[in-house]
């Protein structure tokens, strides 16, 4: 193990002990935000420190066995000790590989719930139908992982598809998977309304936002314009009879969020605030990274057919992820929410690029 890696691991070990001490302090326990930050840091450091301590123990045992080889006269014992040294060296190499992976920069949002926004883009009515199919694909994907889907604002199209849909997915690790879905999704198929059997190309855009707590994003009440209006979509008896839908404008940024899925104006406001916090959080991340365009805009692009992260071709039973050049011939399974093969390949590519950057 090189000196730079040893220094990082020693510093992590020392920080871990400091974090353990902080968790026992009454002042930390009384501060919800501080306590959450420290427990999260504890969870990040523990696997690294555990592996580092296993590494040190293996090194000690290898050194002791090697030292005994030099003073031992019994051939059988020497053979045994050499076997111990070889086994410990192999263990050390495995732990070092594990540590390099553990020390890669992690996305702090991976364990968060997500808010997903789907919009029909290029392709007219067929794009709206495709947006509806993408929505159902994500519902089934969430079911496979036992995550909960919570509609926030769903706007149906006249043809049975979706103009747009905003929904939350709640469950540990939801963002770590859904983040791979952000971007334009292109479909190539014969529309239901096409009498000549011609293949059309349509698009739906997907934005994925980590859901954040109120304490993570500060919003001033006097920065908000809140309007109410009558719901126009599904929602029960209150639709078109009461002003239960809510539209919130955040004046400093110009971000506008609406919600009409619930019958209660208060419930719609609470859901809209969740989306607003998520968008503001993404904007903060973009600013911290020195980017001028918002993360959300970079995710969805312009929605033109030439832009895409993935293509779904019905005629060829093909799904192609253009980011890693992966093609699989199992379209029905993917549309039924079986996205794990794609996500595992994308995650492996992410790790490979991160390791290359560490070299």
pLDDT tens series, the chain, 359 aa:
778 888 889 999 999 999 999 998 988 888 888 998 899 899 989 999 999 999 999 999 999 999 999 998 899 999 999 999 999 999 999 999 889 888 877 777 888 899 999 999 877 889 999 999 999 999 999 999 999 999 988 888 888 889 999 999 999 889 999 999 999 999 999 987 676 778 999 999 999 998 887 667 778 888 888 988 877 654 444 444 567 888 899 999 899 988 887 888 888 898 888 889 888 888 877 776 665 445 555 555 554 555 789 999 999 999 999 999 999 999 999 999 999 999 999 998 988 888 776 55
> In the chain, helix, strand, coil percent, each to 5?
50, 20, 30
Strands (E), 121-254: 148-156, 162-170, 183-189, 200-210, 224-229, 245-250
Question: Any idea which residue has 């996205």 for tokens?
Answer: 339
Q: What is the pTM of this model?
A: 0.67
Instruction: Convert the pLDDT of each residue in 129-144 to its tens digit.
Output: 999 999 999 999 999 9
Of 112, 272, 305, the closest CA to residue 205 belongs to 305
Looking at residue 46, its pLDDT comes to: 94
Looking at the chain, how many residues does it have? 359
pLDDT at site 236: 42
Domains 114-212+305-358 and 215-288 share a fold: no
The predicted pLDDT at position 293 comes to 46
Distance CA 69, CA 72 (A): 5
Pair 258, 273: CB distance under 8 Å: no
| Residue 18, token pair as written in the block | 């400091």
CA-wise closest residue to 145 among 167, 173, 107? 173
Residue with tokens 């070092």: 96
- Nearest residue to 319 (alpha-carbon basis) of 196, 186, 154: 186
Residue 84 vs residues 56, 94, 147, 220: alpha-carbon distances, Å: 15, 15, 46, 63
Top-level class of domain 215-288 = alpha beta
- Pick the closest to residue 300 from 106, 150, 122 (CA basis): 122
Contact 119, 143 (CB under 8 A): no
- What are the domain boundaries of the chain? 3-102, 114-212+305-358, 215-288
pLDDT tens, residue by residue, 45-97: 999 999 999 999 999 999 999 999 999 889 999 999 999 999 999 999 999 98
CATH classification code of 3-102: 1.20.58
**CATH code, residues 114-212+305-358:** 3.30.70.1660
């Amino acid at each position: 193990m090189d000196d730079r890696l040893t220094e990082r691991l020693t510093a992590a070990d020392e920080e871990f002990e400091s974090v353990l001490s902080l968790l026992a302090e009454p002042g930390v326990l009384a501060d919800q935000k501080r306590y959450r930050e420290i427990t999260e840091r504890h969870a990040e450091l523990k696997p690294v420190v555990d592996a580092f301590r296993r590494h040190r123990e293996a090194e000690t045992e290898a050194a002791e066995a090697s030292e005994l080889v030099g003073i031992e006269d019994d051939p059988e014992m020497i053979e045994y000790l050499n076997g111990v040294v070889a086994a410990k060296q192999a263990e050390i190499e495995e732990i070092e590989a594990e540590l390099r992976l553990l020390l890669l920069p992690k996305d702090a949002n991976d364990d968060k719930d997500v808010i997903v926004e789907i919009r029909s883009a290029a392709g007219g009515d067929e794009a709206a139908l495709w947006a509806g199919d993408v929505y159902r694909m994500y519902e089934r994907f969430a079911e496979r992982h036992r995550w909960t889907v919570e509609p926030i604002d769903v706007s149906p199209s006249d043809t049975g598809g979706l103009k747009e849909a905003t929904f939350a997915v709640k469950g540990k690790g939801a963002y770590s998977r859904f983040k791979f879905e952000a971007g334009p999704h292109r479909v190539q198929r014969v529309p239901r309304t096409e009498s000549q059997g011609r293949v059309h190309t349509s698009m739906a855009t997907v934005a994925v936002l980590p859901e954040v707590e109120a304490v993570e994003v500060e919003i001033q009440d006097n920065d908000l314009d809140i309007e109410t209006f009558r719901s126009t979509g599904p929602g029960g008896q209150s639709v078109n009879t009461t002003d239960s839908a809510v539209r919130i404008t955040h004046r400093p940024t110009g971000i506008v969020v609406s919600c009409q899925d619930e019958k209660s104006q208060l419930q719609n406001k609470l859901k809209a605030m969740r989306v607003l916090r998520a968008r503001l959080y993404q904007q903060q991340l973009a600013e911290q990274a020195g980017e001028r365009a918002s993360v959300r805009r970079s995710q969805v692009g312009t929605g033109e057919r030439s832009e895409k992260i993935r293509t779904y071709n019905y005629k060829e039973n093909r799904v192609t992820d253009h980011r890693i050049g992966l093609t699989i011939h199992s379209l029905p399974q993917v549309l039924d929410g079986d996205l794990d093969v794609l996500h595992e390949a994308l995650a492996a590519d992410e790790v490979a690029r991160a390791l290359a950057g560490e070299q």
